[in-house]
Structures are given as C-alpha cells and as structure tokens.
Structure 1
Amino acid sequence: MSEPVTWLLLAYRIPSEPSRLRAGVWRRLKALGAIYVQNAVAALPADPAAERALRSLRAEIIRMDGGSAQLLRADALAGGTDLVTAYNAARDDEYAEITDRCRDFLAEIERETAASHFTYGELEENDEDLAKLRGWFDKVVARDRLGAPGRDAAGKAIEGCAEALDGFAAAVYAADVDAP
C-alpha cells in the first residue's frame, strides 16, 4: 500500500459578482492541478511549491472585497483513496486530451505528406505545434504529483509525434535538394 497523501485545502468565499473574480480563482486552481472536494474547497497534494501558490492565491482572495479564505493542511481520516483517485483522474483527463491532440498532429503530418506539401513553412508550423504539445505535457507532468497512469501513453504519443515530424523534415530536406 502506498503512503498516505497529505493535502492542502483551500476553502474560500468570493462574492458572486463580478463573476470574473470566481472565474479567475477557478483558472488559477485548475492551472495548479487542484481538484474540488466541494464547492469552493480545492485540494492539492502538499508540497512546498503548492503551498506557496495556494498562500499567494489566498492572499489575493482576502484582498477582494468580501472575499475570505482559509488554507489548511489535512490528512484524510477516511476517503483518502477517493481524493487520490479524483486527482489522478483529473491528470488522466489532461493526458487523454494531449493524446487526442497528438492524433490530430499526426493526421496533419499525414495530410501534408499525402499532398507532397514539403515546405519549410509547413515544417516550421509543425515544429511549433510539437513544441506546444511538449510544453503542455511538461506542465501536466509537473502537476502530476501522484503518478497518474495516463502519463506513459501521453509521453509515447508525444514521442510518436516527434518521430513523425523527423520523417516529415527528412522529406522537406529531400524536396529542397531535388528542387531546381
């Protein structure tokens, strides 16, 4: 059995208007990888970086007119595996989305190859797309503190994209050599 996870819980209250305040907090928590335990109660596995980020967010919330927030460190007495499962499911959803985007990337490479559209402009565009996929993957990996099972499949999908891009690049270079 794995070691129990210590959690950081941010419980907050924000006025309903303007709604941009709620949306801003939600976006920040999502970017951190937090899961919602209940409405306005978000959880992250405890580590120094998560604590710094949540302390900073708490400070922003309490500066809002009518905002309040508490940051707690907690060990689950019961239901701890449910929290871990929910946290890993959130990461797996992100990994699945990356894998889907990798399929789109590969389909684009196939379309360009079938059309013999071997240009440096297309290569550059695809290279930028792969860099974005890698950056997104790295961000998800950074918040995947509990080892979600979808990481390996997404990593392999990124590798497949890199291999396909290498093949496309070789075709671009060959077309350049063959050009009059």
Structure 2
Amino acid sequence: MSRYTYNIRYEMSISKYADLSWLLLAFTLPTKRASQRVEVWRKLQRYGTVPLGNSGYLLPSNPSNEERFQWLATSIRKYGGEASIVHVRSIDNISTPQLIARFAEARAREYQELIRELQTFSSLPVQKRAVGRLSRLRSRFQEIVEVDFFDSPLQKRVGELLARADEARVARRLPETAKIDPKEYKNRIWVTRPRPGVDRSACAWLIRRFLDPKARFAFAPEGQVPQAAVPFDMFHGGFGHRGDACSFETLQKDFKIRDRRVKVMSEIIHDADLADGKFGRKEGFGIDEVLKGWARQGIPDQELLDRGMQLIEGLYHSLA
C-alpha cells in the first residue's frame, strides 16, 4: 500500500491518541447479491467508515461502532457471505495521524458539500427558502456530526451557516423581553397545564436543574393559576411559546442558560413538541410517545411529570 498523503492537518497531541485502536470489518458477499451489496455499502457510508485498501473498512474502536459492525456482520452472514471484525492496535505502514487524516478528509468532503448546498439555499430570497429543505440540510448535518469522530473544524462553520440561514428565515423579530432577575424565581411554585408532555417535562427539568432547585410543581387549567405561582407552558402568560419557539426555548433564552447540552436539547424539544422539522432533530419523539403512553394509562400528573423529568435527565447525560 502506498504512503497516504493528505492536505487537511490537525494540530494534535500524539499522547491524546496513544490509546486509540481501530475496528476492521472484513467481508465477502456472493456476486449474485447485488442489492445486498448496495445495502451494505450504504450502511458503511452512513457509519462513517473509511476503506483500508481491499482489506475491509475501518472505524475507531468504541462500543457504539463495534455494535454497528456486529449487526452489519450478522446481516452479511445471513446473505450468505462471510464477515469478520478485527480489533486493530496499529498498522505497520500507516500511522495513527495518517488514519485520523483519512477520516478527517472524508468528513471534510461531506461538510464541504453541505456548505455548497447551504450557500445555494442562502442565496435565494428569504420568501423562497423552503422550511423543508432547511430541515433536510439540518438532518444531514446531524448525520455527519454523528460520525465526525475527530471534530472537524468545518463542523463549527456549517453550524454557523445553518444558524444564519434559520435567522434569516424568520421574517419578523420577536419583541424584547424585560430583564429577569433569577433571584426572584427561587423557592417558587411553578404551574403548568395537566397531562404534561415533552415540552412541559423538559421545562420542569430545566427549572429544577438550573433555575430553582427547590421548585415545586402544580397543575391548573387556563385561567386558574394561583396568583403567587409562576406559570409555564400555558397558553396565556408566563413562560410559554413565543413566536416559533417552544416553552423550553423561552426559558433557556430568558434565563440565559449557556450550557452546551441545553442548547442541543432546545432543538430536540422544539422538534418533538412543534413537529415542524426546524432543526432536523428526532431524539425527542420517542420521549414524547412514552409520555403519551403513560398518560393513556391514567398515571397522575405529578408522577407523569417526575417520570418525564427523569427521561430528560437521561437525554441530557446522553449528550455528554
């Protein structure tokens, strides 16, 4: 195999990758299995693999990637082929930085293609920028990020382009909100509508984790909120939907919560609650369906909210 050259260089500490190992999927499929070959190839592309000559396909070794290869190997064997997963510590004629650069170049090509599409999209008049198209671009971005194992610098650039495209799409600006003193929202009773779903559960989690650790939650129909209570996700008043933002986004923005994972969660909760595909996020739909299922079982509001908050806590840690 010839020495691999590359143009994209990362300033990397060798010690940072001293323990890095790889997974190699080597397989064969019968020539008559053309459709299965295409299916396997598409999955390899989606998983972010890079080919190692004619030997097979590589991924950085971690539990998630190993599980993907295990399932793919199982499928290949069912199709009458042979598949082996090899744990690789090193390759004699390709260094670790060179292998990392192969992955970097693969992701760079995908990001650059997305950048071109975003530039084309942004060149259109605002009124002609279809929401569905922007959602598809966001979904594609999330797919690339998921397999961007070595954090390409282009990831940030694409994220910024998406943010600008979204800001430009919003035709009107939201009114400025009054400044909020977080101290006024300590040890309060927070009230929302009965039968909490994904947005209300996420709001309650955000309140207790970042705003008011001793918050107490109550439920009331519209127009019957106790005077001293703080309403959230109500149709009128309090911290509710604002413009095209869900209540979780409103709380995050009003209280200026800068946590990186909360920012990602705001996109997830938005898409699950409003189902407008704005951010191309799908992680929250499962949480919403689980909450709906529990609600149909007749679980009391407080228990439903507590369970929902536990699910949101798990989501938060999954984004670490």
User: TM-score range, shorter-chain basis?
Assistant: 0.7 to 0.9
Distance 2:69 2:91 in 1: 22
Aligned length: 156
Shift of 1:77: 4.3
TM-score normalised by L of structure 1: 0.80
Q: Distance in 2 between matches of 1:7 and 1:148?
A: 19
Unmatched tracts of structure 1, length 5 or more: 172-180
Superposed displacement of residue 26, structure 1: 0.6
Contact 1:35 1:42 (C-alpha < 8 Å) held by counterparts: yes
The aligned counterpart of 2:102 is 86
Aligned to 1:135: 139
Q: Is it true that 1:68 corresponds to 2:82 in the alignment?
A: yes
Distance in 2 between residues matched to 1:91 and 1:25, nearest whole Å: 19
% identical equivalent positions: 25
Instruction: Report the TM-score, using the length of structure 2 for normalisation.
Output: 0.46
Equivalence for 1:178: none
> Which secondary structure does the structure 2 equivalent of 1:170 belong to?
coil
Query: Any unmatched runs of 5+ in structure 2?
Result: 1-12, 174-320
The one of the two structures with greater contact order (alpha-carbon pairs below 8 A, sep at least 6) is 1
Matching of residues 126-165 of structure 1 within 5 Å: 126-165=130-169
Deviations 1:158-178 (A, max 9, x none): 122112212xx239xxxxxxx
Q: Quick one: distance in 1 between partners of 2:41 and 2:91? A: 27
- Once the two structures are superposed, residues 105-138 of structure 1 have per-residue CA deviations (whole angstroms, 9 ceiling, x without a partner) of 1122x2xx5xxxx5xxx56xx2222111111111
Name the counterpart of 1:170.
Answer: 172
Q: Give the CA deviation at 1:18.
A: 2.9
4+ long deviations beyond 6 Å: none
Q: Which residue of 2 aligns with 1:11?
A: 26
Matched with 1:105 is 121
Contact 2:25/2:85, CA 8 A, preserved across alignment:
yes
Q: CA RMSD in A?
A: 1.8
**AA matched with 1:36:** P
Kindly tell me: are residues 40 and 25 of structure 1, through their superposed partners in 2, closer, same or farther at Cα, counting changes over 3 Å? Answer: farther
**Structure 2: distance between partners of 1:38 and 1:63:** 25
Which structure features the higher share of helix residues? 1
User: For residues 9 and 50 of structure 1, do their structure 2 counterparts lie closer, same or farther at Cα, with a shift above 3 Å needed?
Assistant: same
Q: Which amino acid aligns with 1:13?
A: T
